[in-house]
């Protein structure tokens, strides 16, 4: 039986069996059996040449707004297609990142020299790549327990990675099929979605530090994986 083809997007693992893909790539997820996805965005890639803020959050230029929305739309479409095509997509719920993007709409007031142009912006987050409404709220913690629902599916994973997992959001949308909850308050921090028309699974998990200090060492100015990183990747 052929080995499963595994792709990681947004983070790397110290394994030759896992192909790495950058968030900016245009790769299709349909070529892969299992996709590991972390929706963290390097905001500096889109905000480096601007210092505009709106309501305390970065406000991107029209060009960078288009680029970011295009990237998020690409991954949202690819994740949805992979899920509908029977693939397994595992998303590590990284920190919620919100920016304001230019909608392209303009409103004008006044006439002549007194005319003013108002740029219309909308709030955008890295969670727009996930094709399901989650309504995430930013908060952090490590006190997590398995939910009664889907406990048999999540148990092997949770036994291995509970100690290195940290939730960075709670999911507040209705009818979340939670597989992991906060120990206090029973707030969903992990979920398991199954496709009724295929064998596709969309698994949402608390975040992990894939670049922990013990995973990296420096040699001649180059960052290299440590044996601990290789062992961790093998477990994953």
Question: pLDDT at position 105, please?
Answer: 79
The answer to whether residue 192 is domain-embedded is: yes
Question: pLDDT at position 102, please?
Answer: 84
The answer to whether residue 50 is domain-embedded is: no
Question: pLDDT at position 50, please?
Answer: 62
pTM of the model: 0.90
The answer to whether residue 152 is domain-embedded is: yes
Q: Which residues lie across from 107 on neighbouring strands?
A: 118
The answer to whether residue 56 is domain-embedded is: no
The answer to whether residue 168 is domain-embedded is: yes
pLDDT by residue (tens digit) across 25-56?
999 999 999 999 999 988 777 766 666 888 88
pLDDT by residue (tens digit) across 104-119?
777 777 777 777 776 7
DSSP letters along the chain, please?
-PPPPEEEESS--S-TTEEEE-TT----GGG-SEEEE-----THHHHTT---EETTEEB--HHHHHHHHHHHHHHHHHHHHHHHTT-EEEEEE----EEEEEEEEEEEES-GGG-EEEEEEEEEEGGGGSSS---EEEEEE--EEE-STTHHHHHHHHHHHGGGEEEEEEE-STT--EEEEETTT--EEEEEEE-TTSS-EEEEEEEE-TT-GGGEEEETTEEEE-HHHHHHHHH-
Q: Domain span at residue 212?
A: 6-41+68-95+127-235
CATH number of domain containing 23: 3.40.50
Question: pLDDT at position 95, please?
Answer: 96
The answer to whether residue 220 is domain-embedded is: yes
The answer to whether residue 55 is domain-embedded is: no
What confidence category does residue 63 fall into, taking pLDDT thresholds of 50, 70 and 90? confident
Distance CA 61, CA 67 (A): 10
Total domains in the chain come to 1
Q: How far apart are the first and last CA of the chain?
A: 20
The answer to whether residue 59 is domain-embedded is: no
Nearest to 81 by CA among 19, 35, 119: 35
Is residue 184 within 8 Å of residue 194, measured between CB atoms? no
What confidence category does residue 1 fall into, taking pLDDT thresholds of 50, 70 and 90? low
- Residue 122 confidence (pLDDT) above 90: no
Question: pLDDT at position 51, please?
Answer: 66
pLDDT by residue (tens digit) across 219-231?
888 889 999 999 9
Stretch 72-99: mean pLDDT, rounded?
A: 97
Sign of the alpha-carbon dihedral angle for 48, 50, 55, 56: positive
């Amino acid at each position: 039986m052929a080995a499963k083809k595994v792709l990681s997007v947004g983070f790397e693992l110290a394994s030759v069996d896992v192909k790495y893909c950058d968030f900016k790539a245009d790769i299709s997820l349909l070529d892969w059996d299992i996709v590991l996805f972390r929706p963290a965005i390097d905001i500096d890639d889109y905000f480096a040449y601007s210092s505009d803020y709106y309501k305390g959050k970065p406000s991107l230029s029209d060009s960078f707004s288009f680029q970011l929305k295009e990237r998020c739309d690409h991954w949202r479409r690819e994740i949805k297609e992979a899920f509908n095509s029977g693939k397994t997509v595992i998303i590590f719920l990284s920190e919620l990142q919100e920016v304001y993007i230019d909608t392209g709409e303009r409103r004008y007031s006044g006439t002549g020299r007194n005319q003013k142009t108002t740029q219309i912006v909308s709030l955008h987050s890295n969670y727009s790549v996930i094709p399901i409404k989650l309504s995430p709220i930013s908060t952090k913690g490590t006190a997590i327990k398995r939910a009664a629902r889907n406990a048999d599916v999540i148990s092997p994973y949770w036994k291995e990675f509970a100690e290195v997992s940290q939730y960075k959001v709670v999911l507040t949308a209705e009818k979340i099929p939670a597989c992991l909850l906060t120990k206090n308050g029973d707030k969903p921090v992990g979920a398991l979605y199954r496709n009724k028309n295929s064998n596709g699974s969309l698994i949402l998990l608390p975040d992990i530090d894939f670049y922990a200090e013990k995973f990296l060492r420096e040699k001649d100015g180059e960052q290299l994986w440590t044996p601990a990183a290789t062992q961790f990747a093998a477990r994953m």
